Amino acid sequence: MNSQISKLVEAAQKARNVAVITGAGMSRESGIPTFRGPDGLWKNFRPEELATPEAFQKDPALVWEWYEWRRQIVLKAEPHEGHRVIAAMEKFFPEFLLITQNVDGLHPRAGNRKLIEIHGSINRARCTKCATRFELGSRVLSELPLRCDCGALARPDVVWFGESYDSNLLSASLDFLGSADLVWVVGSSGMVSVPVYLAAQARENGALLVDLNPEEAEFSRYCDIKIRGTAGQVLSEFWKALQ
């Protein structure tokens, strides 16, 4: 067992309140592209044209087409061993919370329930007028832009660039991280500040920070345990070693 994994196992054996913060790298081994990186989504598309309120205002059909294209990829993807390990962690530790930036729904499909989808879900829409939220199911959306039963435009129920986070989700995350003793950041570049801020708060409160990523990320320097590897492989190795 490599020394980093044994450090992880040792920390996990002592931990009671464990949080995991995941980013797009968590879903890479399920075949879903990340955002930034050699084959990232932002390499082929401009976020300003697709993931902002202004883009939606300008061309709701284009924004819906892009989200529906991503959603069909996501619906064909399967959670991998790493997702299943994080679902098992929820049952293993006395207190556990998963905070994900991912909108792909793979964590709830793997079984996590103590879960905050801090950027929303690509599988849900909400009305721009009456704010009704509705699950999109597995059907292919052919009539785009999608409309609510009230007739108004519906939008993907996700957080776009320039939009604020749901304050209830943020405070629930901060509440838990205030007493966490082990916090993993898995598969995030840290290019979006909130998850980094959440991890930094946890560290302020004495949590041990784990950075699981094949590459150095923005916040790697603040982490206590740095594991250069992929989410699926490392989580699976860790879990076997912990049993």
Q: Would you state the torsion angle of the CA atoms of residues 229, 113, 196, 161, taken in this order, to the nearest 10 degrees?
A: 110
Distance between CA 215 and CA 34 in Å, rounded?
13
Residues 29 and 82 sit within 8 Å (Cβ to Cβ): yes
Q: Kindly state the smallest distance separating residue 191's Cβ from ligand APR, in Å.
A: 5
Q: 23 or 156: whose CB is closer to ligand APR?
A: 23
- How far out from the chain centre does Cα 179 lie? 21
Examine the residue annotation and report whether 107 is marked as an active-site residue of this protein. Answer: no
Handedness of CA 10, 176, 231, 85 (dihedral sign): positive
Find the shortest distance in angstroms from Cβ 113 to ligand APR. 21
Cβ atoms within 10 Å of 200's Cβ, excluding its own: 16
Cα 6 to Cα 1: distance, rounded to the nearest angstrom: 7
Q: Which residues contact 43 (CB under 8 A, 6 or more apart)?
A: 37
User: Could you tell me the smallest distance in angstroms from the CB atom of residue 74 to ligand APR?
Assistant: 13
| C-beta closer to ligand APR: residue 152 or 169 | 169
Residue nearest to ligand APR (CB): 25
Residue 133 phi/psi, 5-degree rounding, is -105, 140
Exactly one of 80, 83, 107, 119 is catalytic; which is it? 119
CB of 140 to ligand APR, least distance (A): 23
Contacting residues toward ligand APR, per CB under 6 A = 23-25, 28-29, 34-37, 40, 101, 119, 187-189, 191-192, 213-215, 217, 230-231
Which residue numbers are catalytic?
A: 119
